[in-house]
C-alpha cells in the first residue's frame, strides 16, 4: 500500500472516530444509489474510452457500470454527480491540476 493511500485511509478513520465521539458533525450529502453512467456519457457525446480517459476512470469501470455488473460506490458516485452537473467545469479543473503538476 502506498503512503498516499495509507494517509487517506488514516484520515478517514480519524474523521470517523471524531464523528462517533460527537466531536464532528457528519457531512450531509445526498448521493443517489443509482446513476446511469451510459446516459451521462452519451449526453456528453463521448465514447467509453474518451469518458474514462477524460475523467480518470478505467475503461473496465465504465463497461462494468454500463452493463450493470457493478455500480459506482461512495465518493465515485458523488464525483459522477459533479460530472453530470458540470462536465466542463470538472474537465477544466482536471486540466488545470495537470498543468500545475507538470510545472
pTM across the whole model: 0.66
* pLDDT confidence of residue 18: 82
Asked if 65 and 72 count as a contact pair (C-beta separation under 8 A), the reply is yes
Q: Is the pLDDT of residue 1 over 70?
A: no
Predicted local distance difference test score (pLDDT) of residue 86: 93
Name the 3-class secondary structure at 101.
helix
Residue 50, phi then psi, degrees to nearest 5: -65, -45
Residues 17-26 have a mean pLDDT of: 81
- Looking at per-residue pLDDT, the higher value among 98 and 60 belongs to 60
- Tell me the average pLDDT across 51-60: 96
Amino acid at each position: 500500500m502506498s503512503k498516499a493511500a495509507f494517509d487517506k485511509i488514516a484520515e478517514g478513520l480519524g474523521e470517523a472516530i471524531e464523528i462517533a465521539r460527537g466531536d464532528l458533525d457528519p457531512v450531509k450529502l445526498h448521493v443517489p444509489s443509482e446513476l446511469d453512467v451510459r446516459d451521462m456519457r452519451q449526453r456528453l457525446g463521448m465514447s467509453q474510452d474518451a469518458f474514462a480517459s477524460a475523467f480518470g476512470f478505467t475503461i473496465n469501470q465504465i463497461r462494468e457500470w454500463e452493463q450493470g455488473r457493478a455500480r459506482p460506490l461512495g465518493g465515485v458516485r458523488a464525483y459522477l454527480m459533479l460530472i453530470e452537473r458540470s462536465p466542463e467545469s470538472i474537465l477544466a479543473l482536471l486540466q488545470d491540476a495537470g498543468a500545475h503538476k507538470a510545472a
